[in-house]
């Protein structure tokens, strides 16, 4: 993802999952070649609750969403920033 303007935070809302699901956001270098900083892994709330992954993301920042679960599954989610 690319944030063209300052955003106050990055949120994710898990809408469907069978197992405990975790997420974090990681900031990247401007060219997207390397990860420079990641938020802590958080256990996502369920259902339909937005969880905050990062706050104070500067304008022009590239970031990536990372997720994992405790079992094989397809997770559905929304994110907002």
pLDDT in tens, 6-18: 667 888 888 888 8
Considering the domain boundaries, does residue 81 fall inside one? no
Environment class of 25 (CB within 10 Å of its CB; exposed 0-12, middle 13-18, buried 19+): buried
Strand ranges in the chain using DSSP code E only, listed in sequence order? 2-3, 7-16, 21-28, 35-38, 42-43, 50-57, 61-69, 76-80
Q: How many domains does the chain have?
A: 1
Q: Is residue 40 part of a domain?
A: yes
Q: Is cis: bond before 47, omega within 30 of 0?
A: yes
Q: What is the pLDDT of residue 74?
A: 74
The predicted pLDDT at position 81 comes to 55
pLDDT at 44: 92
Whether residue 12 lies inside any domain: the answer is: yes
Give pTM, 2 decimals.
0.78
pLDDT interval class at 30 (50, 70, 90): confident
Look at residue 51 and tell me if it is in a domain: yes
């Amino acid at each position: 993802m690319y944030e063209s303007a300052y955003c106050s935070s990055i949120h994710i809302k898990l809408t469907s999952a069978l197992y405990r699901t975790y997420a974090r956001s990681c900031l990247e270098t401007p060219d997207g070649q390397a990860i420079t900083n990641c938020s802590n892994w958080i256990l996502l709330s369920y259902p339909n609750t937005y969880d905050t992954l990062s706050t104070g993301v500067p304008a022009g920042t590239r970031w990536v969403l990372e997720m994992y679960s405790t079992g094989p599954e397809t997770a559905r989610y929304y994110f907002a920033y």
